[in-house]
A and B are shown apart, each in its own frame.
Chain A
Amino acid sequence: MYVITSDPIDLAAVMADVAHPGAGGLALFVGTTRDENDGRRVERLEYEAYDDMAASEMAAIGAEIRRRWPVLGVAMVHRIGVVPVEEASVAIAVAAPHREEAFAACRYGIDTLKAQVPIWKKEHYADGTRWIGACQAQHEHAAQRDEGRG
């Protein structure tokens, strides 16, 4: 499964999706929302996706994983919308005959997802917001700067 969802991620369903009788191991990575970044207290996170492309990019990463490792199942789910602190925002599961390839493929999956799947994260603080990934100076207090710049 390669899914973008606004619902909480059902980790048992993600694992069940890759379960395979030939698997000797299943690696599951779960990214959770953290209450702090760069010394600022994060009250909540908000994710936005280019939904159609995000799902197809995740499927492409899954296909690449299958080319590189002898895996038996791959699943990726990313949550969008507001995600409270401590909850899962992304989950990747890989089942493989042996743990080495399960760990390696799962690591590759999350690293590649974060680099190329079109999903953006906005941090909400007590005193403002910030889109992560974009150049901070370009958008923080953007409205004021725009007015000044004309």
Chain B
Amino acid sequence: MTIRVLFFAYLRERCGAERRLELPEGASVGEALGRLREQYPVLADASLRVALNRVYVDNADPLHDNDELALIPPVSGGSPSAGTEKPTPCT
């Protein structure tokens, strides 16, 4: 199967805005991320959320042909406050 992969913000500047990725049938989000990390070292230490067809998902979710997988770097944030996620610190 083939999926579309979208990159945003600093990842877009490093990886390009969009690409296609061939995967075996039944591959998961996590497997797709593994393939991408092999090809883009910048992803290895990136703090990411992943959206599948415009909905946040987990690595275990299955992929299907023509899916749209978006790699979401930490969003613009602003001052953290109670109940909101804080940016992942650098390692």
Interface residue ranges, B against A (CB under 8 Å): 6, 8-10, 12-14, 41-42, 45-47, 51, 54-56, 70, 72-78, 81, 83-85, 87-90
User: Could you tell me the distance in whole angstroms from the C-beta of A140 to the nearest C-beta in chain B?
Assistant: 9
Q: Please report the C-alpha to C-alpha distance between residue A56 and residue B9 in the assembled complex, in whole angstroms.
A: 19
Provide the main secondary structure of the chain B interface. Answer: loop
- Chain A: interface residue total (CB-CB under 8 A): 31
- The distance in angstroms between the C-alpha atoms of A116 and B73, with both chains bound, is 11
B56: chain A residues within 8 A (beta carbon): 116
In the bound assembly, the distance between CA atoms of A136 and B84 in angstroms comes to 20
> Does B51 lie within 8 Å of A117, measured CB to CB?
no
5 intermolecular pairs with C-beta atoms under 8 Å apart: A119-B76, A133-B87, A135-B45, A135-B90, A138-B10
Q: Are B14 and A142 in contact (CB under 8 A)?
A: yes
Q: Which residues of chain A from 67 to 91 have a CB within 8 Å of any chain B CB?
A: none
The 3 A-B residue pairs whose C-beta atoms are closest, nearest first, are: A120-B9, A133-B74, A121-B76
Contact of B9 among A116, A131, A136, A137 (CB under 8 A): A131
A114 touches B78 (CB 8 A): yes
A117-150 contacts to B, CB under 8 A, are: 117-122, 131-139, 142, 146, 149
Compute how far the CA of A117 lies from the CA of B74 in the bound complex, rounded to whole angstroms.
10
Do B47 and A134 touch across chains, with their CB atoms under 8 A apart?
yes
A112 beta carbon closer than 8 Å to chain B: yes
Give chain A residues whose Cβ lies under 8 Å from the Cβ of B74: 133-135
A136 and B90 contacting across the interface, CB-CB below 8 Å: yes
A138-B46 CB under 8 A given contacts A31-B78, A50-B70:
yes
